Amino acid sequence: MAKQLPAQLSHKSALVLLPPSRITAPIEAVRRVYDKQFLRWPPHINLLYPFLASPSESSKLKHDIRIRIEQVARTIPPFHMSLESDQLGVFHHTLKNKTVWLGPTTYSNIRKLRAALHSEFSISGVDRDRRPFMPHLSVGKTQSQGGVDKISVEITKSISEFLTHNAEKNDKPTALEWYVDRVHVLERKDEKDRFRIIGTISLGEPSARVEQATTSVG
């Protein structure tokens, strides 16, 4: 039986990283076939889920929650990340329930960001640390090792073809490059609804953001 959440939390909201739309096509091509949550979730990496209950007002993130996230976000500079399709991860939930996921090449920046957010939104009675935080972007679910192998082949092929078609100059043809400069709060009204963005908060101090963006151009 699932453990009941504290009243302050809900599975109808999440604090996440969303990959830029320019790199999501090869991910979505595979998720559309293998991920049962395709229609409910955009491609994402969870930072805090479940998140706060009723985080919005008039379809926008509540001001007090935004301020709290901004206070954390400004202490974490934007950073670069690569998603490697030739180093896929697998969660073995049960013998017949497995999730295949893409992971970043380095975890330190994401873990630092998540730890700061976790500290800010720590809620009594919630043991978020029972399992070590593993940043991941789910691409599919399956019931067998054969299914894992098939999804692995499909996502590697999809990303490789995408990079080749778009003439990406990349030392690793199976890597999707991502400049992480913001976090998003998602919300849905019902468990079966699709999550939508209700708030976006930039990382780093405003002056540093301009410098980082200028440096990363080209």
Amino acid identity, position 22 = R
pTM of the model: 0.88
Average of per-residue pLDDT across 127-151: 88
Measured CA to CA in angstroms, residue 114 lies from 73, 105, 122, 194 at distances of 10, 16, 11, 24
**3-class SS of residue 113:** helix
pLDDT at 117: 96
**3-class SS of residue 172:** coil
pLDDT at 93: 87
Would you say residue 175 has pLDDT above 60? yes
Q: Helix %, strand %, coil % for the chain, to 5? A: 30, 30, 40
Higher per-residue pLDDT: 98 or 166? 98
Would you say residue 71 has pLDDT above 70? yes
pLDDT at 216: 39
The confidence band for 159, taking pLDDT boundaries of 50, 70 and 90, is: very high
Average of per-residue pLDDT across 11-16: 97
Structural domains of the chain, with CATH: 9-216 (3.90.1140.10)
Average of per-residue pLDDT across 42-51: 97
- In DSSP terms, 200 is beta-bridged to 184
Would you say residue 118 has pLDDT above 80? yes
Q: Is 163 exposed, middle or buried (0-12, 13-18, 19+ CB in 10 A)?
A: buried
Asked if 3 contacts 130 with a C-beta cutoff of 8 angstroms, the reply is no
Average of per-residue pLDDT across 129-153: 91
pLDDT at 164: 87
